[in-house]
């Protein structure tokens, strides 16, 4: 069974969609644990409601030791780490031990509106402010940078002149759920090949 750990900081709708996709046998995976860097993240409730082990790691540690504590919990136990709205930046040994085995969902079409400090509603405010006609979401491998790893899947959504950041966020979030599960599915089925910065998915030409 392909085993994953899901890291969260917030409401956990992406986590919920992964749970639902496993329960309807779309994903042949198991979630070994959910780890949050925020004690009040509702995603922890979602995990508990589905009998999934949860861990809370207090962010008052430096980011390096948060990463080291996460590594202690999951090392040798999972095949993939999924960042689903996880706001701390992973650093150090975990990036080496889990090279090309950590993925992140970002609510824009990288390389637009990403990088340090670009998360949550701020991403959509910047997109609206810039006047883009399309935005969207990206699943990418996590490397030493912030939102800089090889791109696995992207999905575009239209941006309308009357959109508020909240309206755009909701439209993008719907697609995040879809592409994050697709990325997990491709990886769990061994359909991903990384060639430099490029990611080839064997079941589709892209």
Shortest distance in whole angstroms from residue 89 CB to ligand GRF:
12
Is 110 a binding residue for ligand GRF by CB under 6 A? The answer is: no
Q: Alpha-carbon distance 138 to 91, whole Å?
A: 21
Identify which of residues 84 and 192 has a Cβ nearer to ligand GRF in the complex.
84
**112 vs 95, 101, 108, 189, CA distance in Å?**
24, 23, 7, 29
- Binding segment for ligand GRF (CB under 6 A), chosen from 11-19, 20-28, 93-101, 143-151, is 11-19
Identify which of residues 75 and 139 has a Cβ nearer to ligand GRF in the complex.
139
Contacts with ligand GRF, 66-85, as mask; x by CB under 6 A: ------------------xx
Structural element, H or E, at residue 165: helix 165-188
Q: CB-based burial of residue 152 (10 Å sphere; 0-12 exposed, 13-18 middle, 19+ buried)?
A: buried
Identify which of residues 8 and 78 has a Cβ nearer to ligand GRF in the complex.
8
Task: Indicate if 106 belongs to the active site.
Answer: yes
Catalytically annotated residues: 106
Q: Which residues bind ligand GRF (CB under 6 A)?
A: 8, 10-15, 43, 84-85, 105-107, 119, 173, 176
């Amino acid at each position: 069974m392909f085993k994953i750990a899901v890291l969260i900081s917030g409401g956990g709708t992406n986590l919920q969609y992964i749970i639902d996709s496993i329960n309807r046998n779309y994903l042949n995976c198991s979630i070994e644990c959910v780890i949050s860097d925020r004690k009040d993240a509702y995603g922890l409730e979602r995990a508990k409601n589905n009998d999934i082990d949860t861990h809370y790691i207090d962010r008052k540690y430096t980011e390096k030791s948060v990463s080291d504590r996460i590594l202690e919990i999951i090392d040798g136990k999972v095949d993939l780490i999924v960042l689903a709205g996880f706001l701390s930046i992973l650093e150090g040994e975990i990036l080496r031990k889990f090279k090309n085995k950590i993925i992140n969902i970002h609510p824009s079409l990288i390389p637009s509106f990403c990088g340090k400090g670009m998360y949550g509603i701020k991403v959509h405010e910047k997109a609206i402010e810039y006047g883009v006609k399309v935005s969207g979401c990206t699943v990418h491998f996590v490397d030493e940078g912030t939102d800089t790893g090889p791109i696995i899947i992207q999905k575009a959504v239209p941006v309308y002149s009357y959109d508020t950041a909240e309206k755009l966020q909701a439209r993008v979030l719907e697609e995040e759920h879809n592409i994050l599960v697709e990325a997990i599915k491709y990886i769990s089925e061994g359909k991903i090949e990384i060639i430099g910065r490029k990611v080839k998915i064997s079941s589709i030409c892209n």
